[in-house]
Structure 1
């Protein structure tokens, strides 16, 4: 990150009374205002006014929590449960990277559609425009996303297999007992 970009980054201080103070505008702001900064792609950092601890992730998670509770949640309970299960798991770091890359790929697809719709000067689609677009192009987009998800799933399985193979090659020299493999029952095909 260049020093010029770092200096233009907005600094928001969070005080013990849970109020947020925007140092650029010299005014108190709400989580809704912070959400608007995110929507406007404004760079910002939220710090604790007393300890200078970076609270940006915590504030972003608060915004996600409010959005999830507000009506049409993006994550199902099953997805949230799966995400929680990865905390403390050996795959935690890889899962974070995997999710980040998938969200970035989805964002790239959105930008390509926006650019293709009106050239380089095009403004981003509004939520209403995306809704209309998805109503018309929904089946095609669903097919594209299903293909992308299937490819991602296959890549993830390949990565797991590679890790298992690497583990076997690293630890294969050690005399660990190998558990017997249970026989597979025959299947009757008629």
Structure 2
């Protein structure tokens, strides 16, 4: 019976560490971490993201999910300080996709590409495991590895092109299916 209690305590502890962490956002713009029973900052939320901690942000009054809003605030802070990731033209292009018929496709395309790039980064980190570099040494190392990085990025670009081609093919197939359902309707290809 003792082992059973121990197992229950262990499973409760495992549940607690893998559980979704809930943050409450109050009208005064403060974030409250229900897990630690304390107020936290956006920097703390950023650390949770970097650590891979699962969480969600809820409005304290309405319980509305504000997670995306908080993540966008973190991105905005990162973009306005230091070295931005997005150029002005890339931000303009992203804005142009909002409200466009391709908005959903673009979101899926970006998500897949970011995931693929993260996987490439993980593989590179695994291959260079044990090498403790400072940020300055990493910059020098990456500069010296230009041909290798070009090959790595070239593979990534090819994979990205392939992904876009697959998405275009899926859209074409969906349009053909829709054309079969609505023969003669403008904008749909004729039924084969």
1:18 Cα deviation after fit: 0.5
Distance in 2 of aligned mates of 1:52 and 1:134: 45
Shift in CA distance, 45/128, structure 1 to aligned 2, threshold 3 Å: farther
The yes-or-no answer on 1:13 pairing with 2:21 is no
Conserved? CA contact 1:114–1:125, under 8 Å:
no
More helix by share: 2
Match for residue 143 of structure 1 among 151, 165, 182: 151
Match for residue 174 of structure 1 among 177, 184, 188: 184
- 1:187 maps to which residue? none
Q: 1:45-124 counterparts in 2 under 5 A?
A: 45-118=56-129
Structure 2 unaligned residues grouped into runs of 5+: 1-13, 188-192
1:71 Cα deviation after fit: 2.4
Distance in 2 of aligned mates of 1:123 and 1:139: 20
Count of matched residue pairs: 172
Q: What TM-score do the two structures reach when normalised by structure 1? A: 0.75
Q: Which moved more, 1:151-160 or 1:19-28?
A: 151-160
| 1:21-59 deviations in Å (ceiling 9; x for gaps) | 111111111111111111111111111000001111000
Conserved? CA contact 2:117–2:156, under 8 Å:
no
Considering only aligned residues, what root-mean-square deviation do their CA atoms show, in Å?
2.9
Conserved? CA contact 2:24–2:34, under 8 Å:
yes
Conserved? CA contact 2:32–2:39, under 8 Å:
yes
